[in-house]
């Protein structure tokens, strides 16, 4: 009877036919999951949107970076890199490990690294804010010549996935020419090459990691990664294959229950998490250093007014929002600084943190704040601003992210009870993200913060990524949230994007702490977005099938967020393997 019910459940998701092959691979195959676009929309150009690379949650298995940051230790461990660091001339020098082979048979070399970073020039990668050039010293040594050394430069070098020169070499050479000639994104030659890069569709996925992916192994339901003999650590990994099920939380939940998905990075509702625990599945809670936020289109009045956004922050119970969305893994943001509370405590002076407004839940104070700027309530109980505009807005959210969908529902309820007229509308995540990039929204739920030990990365999310630029080639086609980063706050006049970038430069920790404090304080006062809660993983780990470190192992401080997720690191280094049966 139980198996019959499970068969019906899997048939409903169109994956029953795959379970037999899954069972046949038990013991040598790791079963995870991550949503990916399927062909023809999905492709193998990992510089462009809609690439089938499973974002950075699993992309390191295919295109490893030079190194991974160990959060508990506060230092990098080399992956493709044998050695790395600044030399006496303040250049960053990397020497690659020997004996690594791409899946097309070509050896890993300095040309791959040079091509990777030159192509990233076309994407306006932050590293090029201070990078003059990247050059091959010899077959295995690469030199990065910077205007000045910085912790940011080191991280940007170390965590970038390295791509194959055999695939992208032509783009790399042409980008190098543009760099040497000083051509920028305002020039036609730049935009022409960027368009060509965006539209490029490689026939094969050439990988240097321990696994590779072929087109025939990508289906609507799952992708099968197979061993890349000669790839990085191909003789170290303990699984011969990796299966990644496609789909978001609702799709993969029955797979977890049935033992067909052994580890997941999704946001499972509290009731589902309780069911997993009752079944004997472990829940790993690593920090993600980010979470959902309420975004505003600053071209829509009066959402462009800080007083309005500050009032709305007091009208939302963030503790409740986090709990109904993700249970114990949805932790309300305390400092409201624009970066993770953990990152803030490591980078901002305590005196500054003590001065930040925590925006406690206080609807009465919120109403007072709106009244003071001329807002009144209409006969229908809905607020009207000082121009007579009724406070009615549409809030879009990714319908396939169950935790963010719950956050959106709770925000909508809270703001409507407060006296706004909010209509929540779910949109599939890929389209919803693009709508925000295009400025096609009034309010939206998107991410705040970033999994980086350096504060400036968190501020690039609202001040650049969601403010007109996007994340990958071809995404930033609209104006985003339309926020003017030239602002005035209690600390004076400042361009927040310029301050963000300035805080990433150099190795002067005292200066960077001061700038991080300025960023935190200005964000706290202006609230360009409202962070709701910080997500901690509630990742099911089925130890019946996976031999993994105990839950108190320091590696879990890496969290599940990119670019240093613990599971990818453990897979790459043999830290997880098949459990003894």
Q: Provide the mean pLDDT of the chain.
A: 93
- Domain membership flag for residue 361: yes
With CA atoms as reference, report the closest residue to 543 among 283, 342, 232, 269. 283
CATH number of the domain encompassing residue 160: 3.90.76.10
- Domain membership flag for residue 204: no
- Domain membership flag for residue 53: no
Residue 21 has pLDDT above 70, yes or no: no
CATH number of the domain encompassing residue 15: 3.40.190.10
Domain end (from 154, 174, 199): 199
Q: Model-level pTM? A: 0.77
pLDDT tens string 35-94: 999 999 999 999 999 999 998 789 999 999 999 999 888 899 999 999 999 999 999 999
Say whether both 550 and 406 belong to one domain. Answer: no
Q: Any bridge partners for residue 547, and if so which?
A: 577
List alpha helices for 281-317, DSSP H: 306-314
Does an H or E element contain 282, and which? strand 282-284
- Domain membership flag for residue 171: yes
pLDDT tens string 290-319: 999 999 999 999 999 999 999 999 999 999
Say whether both 391 and 510 belong to one domain. Answer: yes
Say whether both 433 and 355 belong to one domain. Answer: yes
Q: Report how far residue 458's alpha carbon sits from residue 578's, in angstroms, rounded to the nearest whole number.
A: 36
Say whether both 278 and 304 belong to one domain. Answer: no
Q: Report how far residue 573's alpha carbon sits from residue 27's, in angstroms, rounded to the nearest whole number.
A: 18
Say whether both 236 and 347 belong to one domain. Answer: no
Q: How many domains does the chain have?
A: 3
Q: Residue 548's domain spans which residues?
A: 2-44+209-286+538-578
- Domain membership flag for residue 520: yes
Say whether both 15 and 27 belong to one domain. Answer: yes
Say whether both 369 and 457 belong to one domain. Answer: yes
Q: What is the pLDDT of residue 470?
A: 78
- Domain membership flag for residue 49: no
Mean pLDDT (whole number) for 359-387: 98
With CA atoms as reference, report the closest residue to 237 among 251, 225, 250. 225
Residue for token digits 């539209």? 199
Residue 210 vs residues 103, 216, 309, 509, 576: alpha-carbon distances, Å: 9, 19, 48, 37, 14
Say whether both 521 and 480 belong to one domain. Answer: yes
Say whether both 512 and 384 belong to one domain. Answer: yes
Say whether both 252 and 320 belong to one domain. Answer: no
- CA 489 to chain CA centroid, nearest Å: 29
Handedness of CA 315, 318, 323, 325 (dihedral sign): positive
Say whether both 333 and 377 belong to one domain. Answer: yes
Instruction: Place 472 in a pLDDT band, splitting at 50, 70 and 90.
Output: low
Say whether both 433 and 452 belong to one domain. Answer: yes
Mean pLDDT (whole number) for 440-451: 96
- Domain membership flag for residue 397: yes
CATH number of the domain encompassing residue 337: 3.10.105.10
Domain end (from 199, 225, 252): 199
Domain end (from 199, 229, 259): 199
- Domain membership flag for residue 55: no
pLDDT tens string 537-552: 999 999 999 999 999 9
Taking CB atoms within 8 Å and a gap of at least 24, the contacts of 247-255 are 247/13, 247/33, 247/35, 247/221, 248/35, 248/400, 248/401, 248/402, 248/429, 249/400, 249/401, 249/402, 249/403, 250/400, 250/402, 251/13, 252/33, 254/6, 254/9, 254/10, 254/13, 255/15, 255/31, 255/33
Q: Any bridge partners for residue 292, and if so which?
A: 447
Residue 11 has pLDDT above 50, yes or no: no
pLDDT tens string 99-133: 999 999 999 999 999 999 999 999 999 899 889 99
């Amino acid at each position: 009877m139980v198996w019959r019910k499970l068969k019906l459940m899997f048939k409903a998701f169109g994956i029953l036919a795959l379970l037999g092959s899954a069972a046949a691979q038990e013991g040598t195959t790791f079963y995870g999951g991550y949503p990916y676009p399927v062909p023809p929309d999905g492709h193998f150009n990992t510089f462009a949107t809609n690439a089938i690379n499973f974002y950075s949650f699993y992309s390191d298995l295919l295109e490893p970076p030079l190194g991974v940051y160990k959060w508990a230790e506060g230092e990098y461990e080399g992956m493709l890199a044998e050695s790395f660091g600044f030399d006496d001339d303040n250049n960053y020098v990397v020497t690659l490990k020997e004996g690594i082979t791409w899946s097309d048979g070509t050896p890993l070399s300095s040309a791959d690294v040079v091509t990777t970073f030159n192509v990233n020039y076309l994407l306006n990668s932050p590293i090029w804010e201070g990078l003059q050039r990247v050059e091959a010293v010899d077959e295995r040594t690469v030199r990065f010549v910077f205007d000045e050394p910085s912790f940011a430069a080191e991280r940007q070098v170390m965590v970038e996935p390295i791509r194959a020169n055999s695939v992208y070499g032509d783009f790399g050479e042409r980008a190098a020419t543009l760099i040497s000639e000083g051509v920028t994104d305002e020039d036609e030659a730049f935009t022409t090459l960027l368009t060509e890069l965006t539209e490029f569709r490689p026939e094969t996925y050439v990988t240097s990691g321990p696994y590779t992916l072929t087109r025939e192994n990508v289906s609507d339901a799952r992708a099968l990664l197979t061993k890349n003999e000669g790839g990085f650590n191909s003789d170290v990994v303990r699984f011969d294959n990796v299966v990644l099920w496609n789909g978001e939380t609702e799709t993969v939940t029955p797979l977890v229950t049935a033992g067909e998905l052994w580890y997941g990075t999704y946001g499972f509702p509290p009731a589902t998490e309780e069911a997993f625990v009752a079944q004997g599945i472990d829940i790993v809670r690593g920090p993600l250093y980010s979470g959902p936020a309420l975004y505003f289109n600053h071209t829509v009045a009066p959402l462009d007014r800080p007083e309005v956004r500050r009032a709305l922050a007091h009208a939302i119970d963030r503790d409740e929002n986090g709990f109904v969305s993700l249970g114990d893994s949805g932790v309300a943001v305390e400092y409201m600084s624009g970066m993770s509370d953990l990152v803030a405590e490591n980078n901002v002076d305590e005196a500054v943190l003590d001065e930040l407004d925590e925006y406690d839940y206080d609807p009465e104070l919120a109403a007072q704040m709106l009244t003071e700027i001329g807002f009144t309530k209409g006969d229908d109980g809905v607020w009207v601003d000082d121009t007579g505009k009724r406070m009615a807005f549409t809030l879009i959210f990714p319908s396939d992210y169950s935790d963010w969908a719950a956050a959106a529902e709770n925000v909508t309820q809270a703001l409507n009870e407060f006296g706004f007229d909010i209509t929540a509308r779910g949109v599939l995540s890929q389209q919803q993200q693009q709508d925000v990039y295009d400025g096609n929204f009034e309010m939206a739920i998107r991410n705040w913060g970033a999994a980086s030990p350096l504060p400036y990365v968190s501020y690039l999310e609202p001040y650049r990524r969601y403010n007109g630029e996007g994340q990958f080639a071809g995404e930033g086609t609209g104006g985003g949230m339309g926020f003017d980063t030239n602002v005035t706050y209690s600390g004076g006049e400042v361009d927040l994007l310029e301050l963000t970038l300035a805080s990433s430069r150099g190795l002067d920790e005292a200066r960077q702490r001061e700038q991080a404090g300025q960023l935190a304080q200005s964000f706290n006062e202006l609230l360009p977005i409202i962070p709701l809660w910080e997500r901690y993983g509630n990742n099911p780990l089925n130890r019946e099938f996976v031999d993994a470190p105990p839950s108190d192992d320091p590696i879990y401080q890496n969290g599940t967020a990119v670019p240093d997720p613990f599971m990818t690191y453990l897979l790459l280094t043999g830290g997880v393997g098949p459990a003894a049966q």
